[in-house]
Amino acid sequence: MIELTDAQAELLQTDPSAPPRVLNPRTRETFVLLRVEEYEKIAIGEEAYDWTDEDLDAWNADLARRGEWAEHEEQEPS
């Protein structure tokens, strides 16, 4: 497990509604940092988690805010 520095932990508080993206400087790969609860919802499968209208609205708003809406217009969250 990697422990965040105080500065990194503080940055997480700036926009807790959007998962932060983390860059591996060696490979230039980008990762998304999720809370364990969020990851477990995804890991157990979509059928085990009932998406409410509010969940879908928040998911779509996050995509739109990041400029990724066009790529996912026909998809539902997984």
The rounded Cα 77 to chain-centroid distance in angstroms is 11
Looking at mean pLDDT, say which of 41-45, 68-72, 73-77 comes out highest.
41-45
- Above 60 in pLDDT, residue 11? yes
- b/e sequence 12-46, b meaning 16+ C-beta within 10 Å: eeeeeeebeeeeeeeeeeeeeeeeeeeeebeeeee
Q: What is the pLDDT of residue 34?
A: 84
The answer to the question of residue 56 being in a domain is yes
pTM over the 0.85 mark: no
Domain count, the chain: 1
Residue 59: give the domain boundaries: 6-72
The answer to the question of residue 77 being in a domain is no
Question: 22 - beta bridge partners?
Answer: 31
Q: Higher pLDDT residue, 63 or 49?
A: 63
- Whether residue 77 contacts residue 59, with contact meaning beta carbons closer than 8 Å, is answered with yes
